A and B are shown apart, each in its own frame.
Chain A
C-alpha cells in the first residue's frame, strides 16, 4: 500500500514507529518528518532511553534463579498459605550488616503481614499520642514494673529502649491487641512535646528489612528481627524518625528481642 508522505505524522504513529508497529512503507516518511521536527525527534529519543532504562533495571530478574515456591510441582500440592510460612521461616538468614546496610538491604518477608501490623501500630499511635491525661496505662516512672508486666503478657523480653540520646523520655506503655497476639506499646516524648511510639509484637515474621511509610503528618519505620516485629511511629521528619528507630533497633539487638 502506498502512503502519502505529505500526510502529517500523528502522535500514534510516533509511538508505533518506536515500537516497530508502523507499516514498513510509512517508516521512511516518519524518519524524514522527524529530521525536520527536532522537538518531536527528541521526544522519540527520550522514549528510547526510557525503554533502555526499563530493561537495564528489570531484565536481570529473568536471570535470577526461580524461587522454590514457584516450582510447578510444589504448587500443585500445597496451598499458598503454607508456602508463605515456609518462606518466612527460611529468611532467618537475614543478617544486619554494618551501619550503611542496616536499612537498605536484607531479605524481605511477608510484606503484607508487616503492612497490616504497621497499619495497626499507626492507628494506635494516632489514637494515643493526642491523649493528655491517659496516654499510657503504666507511667515511665514505673519502668521496672512496666517491663516486667509487658514481658509476662507478651511472652518475650520487653525492655523499654533508652532514647535519651535523641532527647526522648519514656512516657510509659500499654498492652495492645496485635494481629496475632499481644503487642507492647511504648510512648516517648521530647521536651517540646513531640511524641514517638514503639510498637512490638510476635507476628510470625522471622525477619524483614526496614520499611518506611508516611501517612499525613505521621510516618513509621517497620521491620522484624528474630521473630519480633517493630514499628516506630512519629513525626513526618524522616531523618528524625530514622535516628529514633536506629536507637530502638540497636538496643533490641542487644536485648535479643
Chain B
C-alpha cells in the first residue's frame, strides 16, 4: 500500500467522528466518508503533497454542503427519543449537545466541530472553509453562544418541543 493510501486510511476513524457529528445520522455520515474516500483515491495523482488531513476534511466539508443542498426538499427526519427515562446522565447530556448542534447553521457547526472536536487550528479551518480567519472566529463565537443558549435554555423559543 502506498504512503498516500496509508495516510488516507489512518484518517478514516476521525473522519467518521466528524461526519457523524456533522450529519447526525450514522448512514448519512458514512455515506459522506465514503464519498470523501472515493474522491480522495481518484485524486491521488492530483495530490501534490501538503497536509492530507486538512485536504480530507475539506473534501468532506464541501460534500456535506452539497448534500444539504440536495436534501433541502426532502423531509427531515428527527430522532424519536424525547422522553427516555432510562437515559443516564451522560446519554442525556449527549442528546442535549446533539440537539444543540442540530440548531446551528451549517458553517457554524462545521467550525465548532473542526476546532473543538477535531482539534484543528483556526488557520486550518480558515483554509478548509476558504474564508479569512476573522470569519472563522466570528462563526466560532456565534456557534458557542448559540449552543450555550440552547443547552441552558436561555431562549425558550428554541427549546419548545411540539
Bound form: Cα–Cα A119–B122 in Å: 39
Interface size classification for chain B: 35 or more
Interface-centre pick from A53, A110, A212, A214 (highest chain B CB count, 10 A): A53
Bound form: Cα–Cα A210–B14 in Å: 28
Residue interface bits B31-62, CB-to-A below 8 A is 1, else 0: 10111011001000000000000000000000
A213 and B75 contact, Cβ closer than 8 Å, known pairs A76-B41, A111-B27 = yes
Could you say which of A50, A63, A69, A122 contacts B147, with CB atoms under 8 Å apart? A50
A111 and B37 contact, Cβ closer than 8 Å, known pairs A54-B117, A58-B21 = no
- B93: chain A residues at CB < 8 Å are 53, 56-57
Within the complex, what minimum Cβ distance (angstroms) separates B73 from chain A? Answer: 8
Bound form: Cα–Cα A236–B98 in Å: 23
Chief secondary structure at chain B's binding surface: helix
Contact B75 A215 (CB under 8 A): yes
- B90: chain A residues at CB < 8 Å are 56
A201 CB–B CB distance under 8 Å: no
Interface size classification for chain A: 35 or more
- B152: chain A residues at CB < 8 Å are 46
Could you say which of B21, B28, B31 contacts A54, with CB atoms under 8 Å apart? B21
A222 (CB) vs chain B CBs: closest residue: B77
B102 CB–A CB distance under 8 Å: no
Within the complex, what minimum Cβ distance (angstroms) separates A148 from chain B? Answer: 32
Residue interface bits B126-149, CB-to-A below 8 A is 1, else 0: 000000000001001100100110
Q: A58-B117, A116-B74, A212-B77 are in contact. List 4 more A-B contacts (CB 8 A).
A: A15-B140, A46-B148, A53-B94, A75-B34
Q: Which B residues are within 8 Å of any A CB, using their own CB?
A: 5, 8-9, 12-14, 16-17, 20-21, 25-28, 30-31, 33-35, 37-38, 41, 71, 73-81, 84, 86, 90, 93-94, 96-98, 112-113, 115-117, 121-122, 137, 140-141, 144, 147-148, 151-152, 162
